[in-house]
Amino acid sequence: MSSPGYRPTPAAASQLNLRGAVDLSSLRRPPAPPQAPPASGAADSGTPDSGGPGGAESGRASLRVDATETNFQDLVQLSAQIPVLFLLWSRYAAESPAVLDAAQRVVESYGGRLVLAAADVDAFPQLAQAFQVQAVPTAVAVVKGQPVPLFQGPADDEQIRSLVDELLKVAAANGVTGSIGDAAQEGEAEPAPLPPLHQAAIDAIEAGDYAGAAAAYKQALLEMPADADAKAGLAQVELMARLETISAAEAENLRQLAAQEPDNVQAQLGVADLDISGGHIEDGFNRIIAFIGRNFGPERETARLRLLELFEVVGTSDERVAKARQGLARVLF
């Protein structure tokens, strides 16, 4: 495979809702093939001999595994609990070792909130076919069995970390918040159970029932208006619900409409949703702020309220939210 020098692009969170974009179920369990040769740094990472997602070395939970056609479905199933970052590499692609090492460093720095699956496409070409990969190195995350393209070509630690930050937000919005690591291996106490309505919301998210999740969060806010977690959860599931039915073609049409009609509030808010879900946080915020600055009346208030909801999606302590609040204040007053 060739390896063009593409730069990393923000994680496409909306891919979680593009039904059938990549059929990961196409890989069944074939007879066990020969084990892939260890990639650069594998000996130091505690890669399990079994090739499965739960192996360990010296009592440490492994955050990197060698993906094979045998353990692929195990890794996809694991993505219901924590994101799995597949790094597809080849010994014939010069950039592969450096990108693989960078991805491993970044993943290990998150303390078990995601796992790196190193896939040698020379030994296991079906893995490249499953993700429709045209060049290596390529990184594709899987969350709840759904692929989220991250980048293709060279990427350094900082670029990968930025993408992983956005990936974890996408995972959290879909109820994937588990972790593995030393604490779990050492028998750390189970976390306290969620309040019943929060658990009901998470269960609904896992079932793809965003309306049910929103109803649970709204009830939680009725009972406790200061429940910050419920407020953030509601904003997240409402965003996912808005994106759920938008295909890639419809998203492109929406962007064209927004460019042609800058004062079309629904078009501008729709593109802002796409921007936020795709990791273009500041672009999404600035789009709405610019609309508010140009318009008055009920549409301006509609845009302001949506912006406040998106602040909750990103996280009110995020520095980009603080910057956007300043921008909002300037156009309002």
- Residue 133: per-residue pLDDT: 86
Residues 296-311 have pLDDT tens digits of: 889 999 999 999 999 9
| CATH 3.30.460 is right for the domain spanning 196-332 | no
Across 3-28, average pLDDT: 35
Beta strand 138-143 pairing with 60-61: unpaired
Equal CATH topology for 13-183 and 196-332: no
Q: Which CATH number fits domain 13-183: 3.30.565.10, 3.40.50.300, 1.20.120.640, 3.40.30.10?
A: 3.40.30.10
- Residue 3: per-residue pLDDT: 37
Across 177-196, average pLDDT: 63
Give the percent of the chain with pLDDT over 90: 50
Across 36-50, average pLDDT: 35
Provide the pLDDT confidence category of residue 25 given band limits of 50, 70 and 90: very low
Arithmetic mean of pLDDT over the chain: 80
- Residue 69: per-residue pLDDT: 82
Confirm if 27 and 69 have CB atoms less than 8 A apart. yes
- Residue 191: per-residue pLDDT: 61
> pLDDT at residue 50 above 50?
no
Residues 227-278 have pLDDT tens digits of: 888 999 999 999 989 988 888 889 999 999 999 999 999 999 999 999 988 8
Residues 285-294 have pLDDT tens digits of: 999 999 999 9
Q: Residue 52: CB partners within 8 Å, gap ≥ 6?
A: 65, 71, 74
- Residue 56: per-residue pLDDT: 34
Nearest CA to 69 among 23, 37, 39, 32?
32
Residue ranges of domains in the chain: 13-183, 196-332
- Residue 132: per-residue pLDDT: 85
Comparing 152 with 38, the larger pLDDT belongs to 152
211: tokens are: 């309306």
Give the percent of the chain with pLDDT over 70: 78
First to last CA, the chain: 56
Cα–Cα distance, 100 to 287 (Å, whole number): 36
